[in-house]
Amino acid sequence: MKGEPASPEAVIRVGVTSARKGAELVTAFERRGARVLHGPTLGGDRPVDDDVIAVAIDRLVELRPLWFAASTGMGMRLLAAAAERTGRRDALVRALQNATVVARGQKAAGGLKRLGVTPVWVAPDERDFQVEAWLAEHVRTDEVVAVQVHGAGGDPYGKLIQTGAIVEKLAPYVSAPPDDPGPGTRLAEAAVAGELDVVTFMSPSAAHGLATLANAAGIGDRVREALNGPVAVATVGPVTGDGARDAGYAVTIESDNRAGALVRAVMSWWADRG
C-alpha cells in the first residue's frame, strides 16, 4: 500500500515534469527499472517582446532606483540585448551604476559585469529569499528597489514590499505553458490517484506549471495534498526546491543541479525505503 516500505519486487513509479530534459530523465530512470510517466508542465522560457522591455527600462530610468537585484544570467542577457536593440543600453547602464546592485548568483553577477556593473553582494546559495533578506536589512521605507525577476512565477520579494519598500519588477522572459496540457494534467491526476511514488522537478517553473495545470483541472488542492505526503517530491538544487515549496509542495529529495544527480538521488531514496 501507499506509504508502506517497498517490497523487493516493487518498481518505483516516477513522474517527470521537465520538457527540455524530459526525454533524458525518462531514459535514465527506465534504465534503472523505473516506470515513468512523462507529463511536461511548461513549454520553456520565452523572451518578452522588445517593446515591453523598452517600456520597463524607461520606467526604471524614470524611477532612479537606489537598489537593483539581478536574479538570473539569462534574464540579464535578454535585458541587455533588448536595451541594445532599442537604443537604451546607455540609459540602462547609467541606472544600474547609480544603484547599489546585488545578484542572486554567479550567473546573474556575470550578466551584470557584461554591462560594466559589479554587484556589491552575491547570494551564497543563489536563493531568492537570501536576496530578499539582505535587501530587507538595508532598504528603507519608500526606497525603490528594481528587481530583474525570473519567469518561474510565484511572488518573490513579496515580504520586501510588506516592509514598505517600493519594488519594481522587470521580467525579460516568461515561462510559457506547454503546447499540449494533456500529459501534464494526466501526471497531476496520477499523483492524486496514488499511481506515482515521486514527482521530479528540474526548475521552479515546472513546479508552478504543475500547480497551474492542476488548478485548471480543478484538482489543485488534491495535488498539493498528494505532494505533501504519499507522493515524494524530488528537485535539483535549492532554487528549484524553493519553487516547489512556493507552489505548495513538500520537498523530500533535493540533489545538486544536474539531471544525473537527480536520478541517482531518487533511486537511492527508493532503495533506502525498502
pLDDT digits (tens, 9 = 90+) for 140-177: 999 999 999 876 655 678 788 888 999 999 999 988 88
Q: What is the mean pLDDT of the chain?
A: 91
Average pLDDT over residues 239-264: 91
pTM to 2 decimal places:
0.75
- Quickly tell me which residue has 510588506 as its cell: 162
Q: Would you say how long the chain is, in residues?
A: 274
CATH class belonging to 13-43+179-273: alpha beta
Average pLDDT over residues 86-115: 96
In this predicted structure, the answer to whether residue 44 has a pLDDT above a threshold of 80 is no
> Residues of CATH 3.40.50.10090 domain(s) within the chain?
13-43+179-273, 46-175
Q: Report how far residue 268's alpha carbon sits from residue 266's, in angstroms, rounded to the nearest whole number.
A: 5
Q: What is the CATH number of domain 46-175?
A: 3.40.50.10090
Dihedral through CA 10, CA 231, CA 179, CA 73, nearest 10? -110
